[in-house]
Amino acid sequence: MLKKIDPTKTNAWASLHELAGEQAQTIKELFKADRSRAKQFSVEWDGLFFDYSKHRIDEEIMDALMDLAKECEVNDGIERMFKGEAINETEDRAVLHVALRNRSNRKTLVGGVDLMPEVNEVLDQMARFSTSVREGDRLGATGKRFKHVVNIGIGGSDLGPVMAVEALKAFQCNMRFHFVSNVDEAHLVETLKQIKAEETLFIIASKTFTTQETMTNAQSAREWFLQQIEDEEAIAKHFVAVSTNEAAVTAFGIDPGNMFRFWDWVGGRYSLWSAIGLPIMLAIGDQAFFKLLEGAHAVDEHVKVKGSQSIPSIMALLGIWYNNFFEAESHAVLPYSQYLSRFPAYLQQADMESNGKSMTRAGVPVRYSTGPIVWGEPGTNGQHAFYQLLHQGTKLIPVDFIAYIKPVHGNGDHHQKLLANFLAQSQALMQGKSVKEAEKELRNEGLKEEEVVKILPFKVFEGNNPSSSILFDEWGAYQLGQLIALYEHKIFIQGLIWNIYSFDQWGVELGKQLAAPILDEMTAKRNGSASSVRFDGSTTELLSRIQRKLK
Ligand code: G6Q
């Protein structure tokens, strides 16, 4: 069980409050005062460079943040997770996505049973399957090779694979990958327009195999398929399932032999390392998929050894510094890579579903701010849009910039420009532009005195906006594994300090229940039955309008 420590009762919390109040020097001034700052506040590790020198921190503040981690017993929490304790207490489950990428194959015990043989067995099954599809040994019902893979799943059974397939597109085979998640028919219909049934492999991905959206899309896809290929037996060749629920998979009509298992100790949003990652393996091949696991495993080992001193822990503590001592409400993640265009959306779920909690582990409401609003878009696109608010808005928004040094493609010119922008933005956010600098610029432009006076206030940038830079030497599956795992551990460590449970998601479960009575009501009305449920006035009004218009 995780310890239940109120972070606000620690000595470090009180010190941090004082330090935040006393802070007089800007980041720019801190750089001027200390030439070794960039070296002191950066970590070079396993082909990546984590620069956190552009933050409102000094040695004393970092020491106090580390003390906070110590007083909240972060290392103890990390150890309990790796040991397979049921740290997801509200669901009485262990949290072992780390076992899925345990490339050392060291024993990982739950209830005295080693999980690794089962994990490896499923990985082997995935590898055999993906190789046979990629190499054309496994064909569709009419003897054609698969050209399309359609993954039907939502939330944790969608966002990870979507993000990773996009992130590693440069290394993909020539099949096309589609992801259908929304129950809005448009998502499925527009996908089906692009494919031919006889060339398509459907993956129905659902941990529970009961999720409304996924089951609805899966049924419709099945019906569509049978309209194209009028042969029930062809289903076995074109539909596979990824789930923990064998009974429901069988009931749906998928042969258990075409099912890839995972386990209840894998949370949905932490499941891309499991069979949920099957589309990723199909896209990049089993060897590259194993590299992805290796990258994440390397971070796991780093966290195990370094604990609260690890990179994810530093990321977590910096987040807490702004979230709890400067009232920052959000956190921007800005990858300078088109391949990472879905990374912020993926992270939104990973972070906000994990740490969007207001109850402590002791079951009493928190009295402090927990998980931030996570958002972002790739650079440089964002620069031409919302960066205005980062530079001159009224909100404090810490930023993570992400990039890799070696270009994936040959044209160095594009990449140089991309990296120049990556560097320029973090620099500008920190330095800002003083009145003096802005005035000099305007005068150099040859503006008249009265124009300078008029326009000057709008040209000033306060600066002192904090950011981290995560810079990889190169880009590939290994690095993506590292990147995701860095954030996973960051999220966990923040949850440990905030004294919340990061691995349940009752808010999401609520969403799964809410629509049911309304849908029942709609069906009842369509069948001419009397209303059975009383809704609030607004819902009743909206519902009857929908029904009137649908008649
Ligand atoms: C993830 C959440 C949630 C879940 C989806 C899909 O951590 O629990 O996003 O992944 O609701 O659930 P199924 O995989 O059971 O369909």
pLDDT, one tens digit per residue, over 152-211 is: 999 999 999 999 999 999 999 999 999 999 999 999 999 999 999 999 999 999 999 999
Q: Is the CB of 268 under 6 A from ligand 1?
A: yes
Best residue among 207, 219, 265, 266 to mutate for probing ligand 1, ranked by most atoms within 8 Å of CB: 207
> What is the rounded distance in angstroms from the CA atom of residue 301 to the CA atom of residue 104?
10
Q: Look at residues 393, 456, 457, 387 and name the one whose alpha carbon lies nearest to residue 426.
A: 387
Residues near 224 by beta carbon (within 8 Å), at least 6 away in sequence: 192, 197
For residue 525, the model assigns a pLDDT of 82
Atom 2 of ligand 1: nearest residue by CA position: 268
Helix (H) / strand (E) element for 333: namely: strand 330-335
Exactly one of 353, 439, 488, 521 is catalytic; name it.
353
Assess whether 260 and 115 both reside in one domain: yes
Assess whether 413 and 517 both reside in one domain: no
Best residue among 154, 351, 503 to mutate for probing ligand 1, ranked by most atoms within 8 Å of CB: 154
User: pTM for this one?
Assistant: 0.97
Q: Read off the DSSP letter of residue 165.
A: H
What is the separation of C-alpha 287 from the centre of its chain, rounded to a whole number of angstroms? 23
Beta-carbon count within 10 A of 185 CB: 11
Range of the domain at 345: 39-55+328-428+465-485
> What is the rounded distance in angstroms from the CA atom of residue 356 to the CA atom of residue 351?
8
- Per the domain annotation, does 388 fall within a domain? yes
Q: Is the CB of 157 under 6 A from ligand 1?
A: yes
Residues near 14 by beta carbon (within 8 Å), at least 6 away in sequence: none
Residue 312 identity (one-letter amino acid): P
Confidence band, pLDDT 50/70/90 cuts, at residue 269: very high
The atom number, within ligand 1, closest to the CA of 205 reads 14
Assess whether 415 and 451 both reside in one domain: no
Task: Check whether 513 has a pLDDT greater than 90.
Answer: no
> What is the rounded distance in angstroms from the CA atom of residue 260 to the CA atom of residue 268?
15
Residue 2 identity (one-letter amino acid): L
Assess whether 333 and 394 both reside in one domain: yes
Tokens 């939502």 belong to 154
Question: How close is the Cα of 267 to the center of ligand 1, in Å?
Answer: 8
- Per the domain annotation, does 477 fall within a domain? yes
Rounded to an integer, the average pLDDT of 219-244 is 97
Question: How close is the Cα of 338 to the center of ligand 1, in Å?
Answer: 26
- Per the domain annotation, does 444 fall within a domain? yes
The atom number, within ligand 1, closest to the CA of 154 reads 6
Q: Is the CB of 161 under 6 A from ligand 1?
A: no
Exactly one of 384, 409, 448, 551 is catalytic; name it.
384
> What is the rounded distance in angstroms from the CA atom of residue 294 to the CA atom of residue 289?
9
Atom 5 of ligand 1: nearest residue by CA position: 155
User: Distances in Å between the alpha carbon of 474 and those of 48, 165, 286, 338, 347?
Assistant: 9, 17, 20, 15, 21
Residues near 549 by beta carbon (within 8 Å), at least 6 away in sequence: none
Helix (H) / strand (E) element for 507: namely: helix 506-526
Task: Check whether 512 has a pLDDT greater than 90.
Answer: no
For residue 509, the model assigns a pLDDT of 87
Backbone dihedral region for residue 105 (phi beyond 0: left; psi -120 to 50: alpha; all else: beta)? left
Confidence band, pLDDT 50/70/90 cuts, at residue 96: very high
Assess whether 275 and 211 both reside in one domain: yes
- Three-class DSSP category at 6: coil
Structure tokens at 404: 């890799």
Assess whether 279 and 144 both reside in one domain: yes
Q: Which of 288, 309, 344 is the C-terminal boundary of a domain?
A: 288
Helix/strand/coil percent split, the chain, to 5: 55, 10, 30
The atom number, within ligand 1, closest to the CA of 270 reads 7
Q: Is the CB of 490 under 6 A from ligand 1?
A: no
Exactly one of 304, 306, 512, 525 is catalytic; name it.
512
| Residue ranges with strand state E in 68-159 | 109-110, 113-114, 148-152
Atom 9 of ligand 1: nearest residue by CA position: 155
- Three-class DSSP category at 404: strand
pLDDT digits (tens, 9 = 90+) for 13-60: 999 999 999 988 999 999 999 989 999 999 999 999 999 999 999 999
Q: Is the CB of 505 under 6 A from ligand 1?
A: yes
- Per the domain annotation, does 161 fall within a domain? yes
For residue 394, the model assigns a pLDDT of 97
- Per the domain annotation, does 102 fall within a domain? no
- Per the domain annotation, does 64 fall within a domain? no
Q: Which of 288, 316, 346 is the C-terminal boundary of a domain?
A: 288
- Per the domain annotation, does 360 fall within a domain? yes
User: Distances in Å between the alpha carbon of 387 and those of 112, 332, 390?
Assistant: 52, 10, 5
Q: Is the CB of 200 under 6 A from ligand 1?
A: no
- Three-class DSSP category at 432: coil
Structure tokens at 91: 């669901």
Question: How close is the Cα of 345 to the center of ligand 1, in Å?
Answer: 15
Question: How close is the Cα of 216 to the center of ligand 1, in Å?
Answer: 15
Question: How close is the Cα of 245 to the center of ligand 1, in Å?
Answer: 13
Assess whether 253 and 117 both reside in one domain: yes
Assess whether 381 and 403 both reside in one domain: yes
φ, ψ (nearest 5 deg) of residue 112: 80, -5
Assess whether 209 and 228 both reside in one domain: yes
Best residue among 211, 346, 506 to mutate for probing ligand 1, ranked by most atoms within 8 Å of CB: 211
Atom 1 of ligand 1: nearest residue by CA position: 268
Residue 302 identity (one-letter amino acid): H
What is the separation of C-alpha 341 from the centre of its chain, rounded to a whole number of angstroms? 12
Task: Select the more confidently predicted residue: 523 or 405.
Answer: 405
Q: Look at residues 223, 224, 255 and name the one whose alpha carbon lies nearest to residue 239.
A: 255
Q: What is the CATH number of the domain that holds 377?
A: 3.40.50.10490
Q: Is the CB of 217 under 6 A from ligand 1?
A: no
Q: Look at residues 498, 366, 495 and name the one whose alpha carbon lies nearest to residue 88.
A: 495
- 512 labelled catalytic: yes
- 489 labelled catalytic: no
Helices (H), 85-211: 97-100, 116-134, 159-167, 185-192
Q: Look at residues 135, 152, 155 and name the one whose alpha carbon lies nearest to residue 187.
A: 152
Q: Read off the DSSP letter of residue 530.
A: P
Question: How close is the Cα of 319 to the center of ligand 1, in Å?
Answer: 26
Assess whether 237 and 166 both reside in one domain: yes
Assess whether 411 and 536 both reside in one domain: no
Atom 16 of ligand 1: nearest residue by CA position: 206
Backbone dihedral region for residue 455 (phi beyond 0: left; psi -120 to 50: alpha; all else: beta)? alpha
Task: Check whether 492 has a pLDDT greater than 80.
Answer: yes
Task: Check whether 141 has a pLDDT greater than 90.
Answer: yes
Tokens 């049978």 belong to 226
The atom number, within ligand 1, closest to the CA of 155 reads 9
Question: How close is the Cα of 209 to the center of ligand 1, in Å?
Answer: 10
- C-alpha angle 530/536/540, rounded to 5°? 50
Lowest mean pLDDT among 234-248, 350-364, 504-518: 504-518
Instruction: Please say whether the beta carbons of 272 and 160 come within 8 A.
Output: yes
Mean pLDDT of the residues in the chain: 96
> What is the rounded distance in angstroms from the CA atom of residue 397 to the CA atom of residue 330?
6
**Which of 482-505 are b and which e, b meaning 16 or more Cβ less than 10 Å from the residue's Cβ?**
bbbbbbbbbbbbbbbbbbbbbbbb
- 353 labelled catalytic: yes
Q: Read off the DSSP letter of residue 399.
A: E
Assess whether 244 and 212 both reside in one domain: yes
The count of structural domains within the chain is 4
Task: Check whether 484 has a pLDDT greater than 80.
Answer: yes
- Per the domain annotation, does 411 fall within a domain? yes
Task: Check whether 350 has a pLDDT greater than 90.
Answer: yes
